[in-house]
Amino acid sequence: MKDECLICKAPLEYLNAGEMMECAICHKKELSKTRCVEGHYVCNECHTAGMDTIIGLCLNETSANPVDILEKMMAQPFCHMHGPEHHVMVGSALLTAYKNAGGDIDLNQALTEMLNRGKRVPGGACGFWGACGAGISAGMFVSILSKSTPLTVEPFGLSNLMTAKALEQIGTVGGPRCCKRDAYLSILAAVDFVKEHFSVEMEKPEVVCGHSAQNNQCIGARCPFVNRAAHSQTR
């Protein structure tokens, strides 16, 4: 097994029912279904410490390629193989690429809103809520750029439809979890969606994953982003 626990590097385990746990870093107590096999728990806030640097990174970005922007975020110290940081990064990469592709938004304001919304989606939502946070983040992206509220008409529909499109792609591939795979799927679905509904064309690259060696649950050849050459050499 590769390292997973931020405290002792042991593998993680998921519980059927929530238990009151104390964060090993900030000592906050809260209900959670996730801990390592040695009993360590790290809350979402501590797990994503430093994530606010996303805003500065995105404001200085000129690319209209959301996957490229996402990869730059994934290379930052705050980002781990899996974790709720992806629930912010997907929407942030899309907002930035949308702006750079000619979209009319206040990027600073939009990124701040994305950070505030995305960090409320907890880790494990993919398995426990039946709605992966990466897909939800894509819906938040459309909600922000369309100014959707519970009382709007078309923006309300579009933001929910975007989430559904992203989750459909994630659900079609299936589990187990991979935050990188689900982030890529959500972004690619959003690029097509925005081109159709907002007439803004972001770049849509071919994605080849470079993270499989760090993923204990990698699905290998079943992943649409698998590096075929590297995978064949390890078989």
pLDDT score at 104: 96
pLDDT score at 3: 63
Give, for 234, the enclosing helix (H) or strand (E): helix 228-234
pLDDT score at 4: 82
Please state, as a whole number, how many other Cβ atoms lie within 10 Å of the Cβ of residue 235.
6
- The H helix count followed by the E strand count for the chain is 10, 2
Which among 105, 102, 80 has a CA at the least distance from the CA of 91?
A: 105
pLDDT score at 228: 59
pLDDT score at 172: 97
Give, for 18, the enclosing helix (H) or strand (E): strand 12-22
User: Quick one: 80 exposed, middle or buried, by C-beta within 10 A (0-12, 13-18, 19+)?
Assistant: middle
Cis peptide before 122 (omega within 30 of 0): no
Mean pLDDT, the chain cut into blocks of 10 residues (235 residues total) = 78 87 93 90 87 94 98 94 95 98 97 96 93 98 97 98 98 95 98 98 96 91 81 48
The phi and psi torsions of 172 (rounded to 5 degrees) equal: -65, -40
Give the whole-angstrom CA distance, residue 209 versus residue 220: 10
Cβ(114)–Cβ(98) under 8 Å? no
Cβ contacts of 80 within 8 Å, gap of 6 or more:
6, 47
pLDDT score at 131: 97
Cβ(125)–Cβ(83) under 8 Å? no
Q: For the full predicted model, state whether its pTM sits above 0.85.
A: yes
pLDDT score at 235: 43
